[in-house]
Amino acid sequence: MNLAIEWLPAQGAPEQLILLLHGWGARGDSMAPLAQALRLAFPQAAVLAPDAPQPHDEGAEGGSARQWYSITGLTPANWPDRVAQTLPSLHQWVQAQQQRLGVGEAATCLAGFSQGAMVALALALQHDGIAGRVLAFGGALTQQPLAAPRHTTVHLLHGADDDWVDVDAARQALRSLAELEGDATLDIAQGVGHSLHPALIDCALHRLRNHIPLRTWQAALGSVPGAPGHD
């Protein structure tokens, strides 16, 4: 995948790796406002934003827009399969960037907007621990999960007035992950639609700086989900 953004620390090796996945019909450089905010907040992080591998459905005649999967003929029934088809190559790409830059899974953050958020969530569910954090802006789960990640914290960020992916999809994702004892949060910005709004970016930065992952609490307390005595 072509890298539209690759920002590395001014000095020294990266301590974190932040991978940004854009929405449908966009390109990696559309994630620049989020990339800039993350770069300022985490100057020792490597921040990368690739162009999705497929030409946009409506731009296949030579347009520059990209997509992670086609939405032509998309239905609730075939949606999970469309997403699943993108995951093997994305998984390999994430691992390749981790190896290239010398950053482990726990120090990796996957951040996606819209279609990119859905792909990021699906990857984290399929490959538990591929990233320590997922930031899902304006996204949703494409199907009910059977298990929640144990080594990945999911931060859902959504506009209350999103007319592309209804905010109830984010609420349902939070409920589903919570019922499976996953580590997830949800921030909803009032008066915000389907966009990488500064209010949601601020929420994401707050979560990255201040949220202590559930697995960290459990390790400190000697508590493991599913183990005897765990509530």
CATH of domain 3-221: 3.40.50.1820
**Residue 226 reports pLDDT greater than 70:** no
Residues facing residue 116 across a β-bridge: none
CA-angle at 68, arms to 65 and 72, nearest 5°? 80
Question: Tell me: the pLDDT tens digits for 150-190?
Answer: 999 999 999 999 999 999 999 999 999 999 989 999 999 99
Residues facing residue 112 across a β-bridge: 21, 136
CB 44 within 8 A of CB 16: yes
Question: Tell me: the pLDDT tens digits for 118-128?
Answer: 999 999 999 99
Residue 171 neighbours by CB distance under 10 Å: 14
Q: Which two tokens stand for residue 5?
A: 């953004």
**What Cα–Cα distance (Å) separates residue 71 from each residue in 23, 25, 55, 58, 201?**
12, 10, 12, 10, 26
Q: Which two tokens stand for residue 164?
A: 């592309």
Of 97, 173, 182, residue with least CA distance to 133:
182
CA 71 distance to own-chain centroid: 19
Of 152, 155, 231, residue with least CA distance to 188:
155
Q: With pLDDT > 90 as the criterion, what percentage of the chain qualifies?
A: 75
- Among all residues, which ones are annotated catalytic? 114, 162, 194
Coil, helix or strand at residue 113: strand
pLDDT of residue 220: 45
Provide the CB-side half-sphere exposure for 177 (13 A, CA): 27
Residues facing residue 111 across a β-bridge: 20, 135
Question: Tell me: the pLDDT tens digits for 198-217?
Answer: 999 999 999 999 887 756 54
Q: What separation, in Å, do the N-terminal and C-terminal C-alpha atoms of the chain show?
A: 44
Of 101, 3, 115, 111, residue with least CA distance to 48:
3
pLDDT of residue 229: 35
Edge-to-edge strands, sheet with 153-159: 3-7, 45-50, 16-21, 108-113, 133-137, 153-159, 184-189
